[in-house]
Amino acid sequence: MSTLTTNDTARALTLPGASAAHWLVRASLAGTFLFHGITKFPYLAAGAEMMGLPFWLWTLVAVVETGAGLAILLGGALRTRLGDLLTRAAGLGVIAIMIGAIWMVHWGQWSNIPSETHPFGGMEFQTLLLALGAYFTLRGNDA
């Protein structure tokens, strides 16, 4: 007597449309970074002054934010090696920006609610974005 057993739990738990679920995360991450990057460009000098950064560095922040938002979308659309590299590069850009934001602005308070000591709020949301950047860096288009 022979017994047939399968251990294909991944297939058993996969719902229809699950292969496109990465777009839910990509779209929200891209939207956040595109918004924050693009809205810096009209006020680069004022933003650099407010943050106490050199103009060139604040401009680089805006470019990286915008580029990461575009690359995370384009990387997902291109299901090739180039798309995978774009996804991973976008993740690295997100990591760099979020480390800077947490270190310069949000460190010392967890809650995202603005306070007297943290007028831009704490690091709750920024750590989530940092984790998403790390996820896409490590997984690429296998996300």
Q: What is the pLDDT along the chain (143 residues), one digit of tens a residue?
A: 555 555 555 555 778 888 899 999 999 999 999 999 999 999 999 999 999 999 999 999 999 999 999 999 999 999 999 999 999 999 999 999 999 999 999 999 999 999 999 999 999 999 999 999 999 999 999 97
**Is residue 99 within 8 Å of 134, Cβ to Cβ?**
no
Domain count, the chain: 1
Nearest residue to 62 via CA among 40, 43, 91, 46: 40
Cα–Cα distance, 86 to 94 (Å, whole number): 12
Q: How far apart are CA 121 and CA 107, in angstroms?
A: 9
Q: What share of the chain is helix, strand, coil (3-state, %, to 5)?
A: 75, 0, 25
Asked, for residue 89, whether it belongs to a domain, the answer is yes
Residue 64 sits in which domain range?
21-142
12 assigned to some structural domain: no
pLDDT of residue 114: 94
Per-residue DSSP letter, 103: I
Q: Is 60 inside any structural domain?
A: yes
Domain membership flag for residue 123:
yes
